[in-house]
Amino acid sequence: MAAPALADCVARVRRFNRFYTRRIGVVSDRMLGSPFSLTEARVLYELAHREALTAGEIGGALGLDAGYLSRMLKDFARRGLVTRTRSTRDGRTRPLTLTAAGRRAFAPLERGSQRAVAEMLQPLPESCRHELVAAMTRVERLLGDEATSAAIQVRRHRPGDIGWVIGTHARVYAEEYGWDASFEALMVEIMMPFLRRHDPAREACWIAELDGAPVGCIALVRQSARVAKLRVFLVTRAARGRGVGKALIDECLRFSQAAGYRKVVLWTQKGLDAARHRYEATGFKLVREEPHHSWGKDHIGQYWEMKL
């Protein structure tokens, strides 16, 4: 019997599937009012957008039963929608291509699908469109047959990002280390002055994104004319091991040097091993340790510094 957490996830995925298939209009037998089923439309799409496909390649891409696909392709050939050609690379294969009639039949499907998606997205604010597309990209990567390597993007913070920094720190440290709500209060105390009066020439906060979604953050604040302090460094669990932490710290240190600082310092806690390894790899040195009780736990605070 599935564990309750898994059973809940299964129910939520099935609910989303029902919602989304209704939302994009694929519950009916025909796709967008055309004479083609959803599967037939998918096969036509592959043929329209990729050259010289074999039946085996189509079946592999779409996960279709070979017998079912063969009957479908024979029907397409009978209707004059597809034709077989001889491959110039391998004379034993007979790639499929759409005929002129096939392209004319597919064109309304392509236009209708474009229009339907545009109508679905048009009422959404631009920020919500980006959020939706980022979520879809993550789903595609998580459920894909092969892991995809999304590019890491590091950017300056925008309105709304600091709330994400505070909330994500509170959630991650509560889930992974059991720290209590007073840690979230500390994050507010750190970031509120930054929001109100930071000097963009000498202080900054960066957000790392994968697939357009935030997965990490770091900030640099002025401690003195020559010393900067690294704050709020975090990479979410799903993005660890992909170079996000290195990209954030590298960006932070480039900025520190350009801003004229001579040293960067930071305060962290013993036991946060992933962050410690990144600090050491970058060139930070541990200078002292102090025990303290904070956020419902006993800690050993660590002070690190790096000369630029």
Mean pLDDT rounded to a whole number for the chain = 88
Query: Highest-confidence range of 28-42, 144-158, 203-217, by mean pLDDT?
Result: 203-217
**Domains of the chain and CATH, by start:** 4-123 (1.10.10.10), 152-307 (3.40.630.30)
pLDDT digits (tens, 9 = 90+) for 99-150: 999 899 989 888 888 888 888 889 988 878 878 887 887 787 777 754 455 6
The tokens describing 234, both together, are 């975090």
- 3-state secondary structure string, the chain? CCCHHHHHHHHHHHHHHHHHHHHCCCCCCCHHHCCCCHHHHHHHHHHHHCCCECHHHHHHHHCCCHHHHHHHHHHHHHCCCEEECCCCCCCCCCCEEECHHHHHHHHHHHHHHHHHHHHHHCCCCHHHHHHHHHHHHHHHHHHCCCCCCCCEEEEECCCCHHHHHHHHHHHHHHHHHCCCCHHHHHHHHHHHHHHHHCCCCCCEEEEEEECCEEEEEEEEEECCCCEEEEEEEEECHHHCCCCHHHHHHHHHHHHHHHCCCCEEEEEEECCCHHHHHHHHHHCCEEEEEEEEEECCEEEEEEEEEEEC
pLDDT digits (tens, 9 = 90+) for 152-202: 899 999 999 999 999 999 999 999 999 999 999 999 999 999 999 999 999
Q: pLDDT class for 51, splitting at 50, 70, 90?
A: confident
**pLDDT score at 1:** 43
**pLDDT score at 19:** 85
pTM: 0.60
The residue-averaged pLDDT of 222-230 equals 97
**CA-derived radius of gyration, the chain:** 27
> What is the spatial distance between Cα 155 and Cα 127, in angstroms, rounded to a whole number?
16
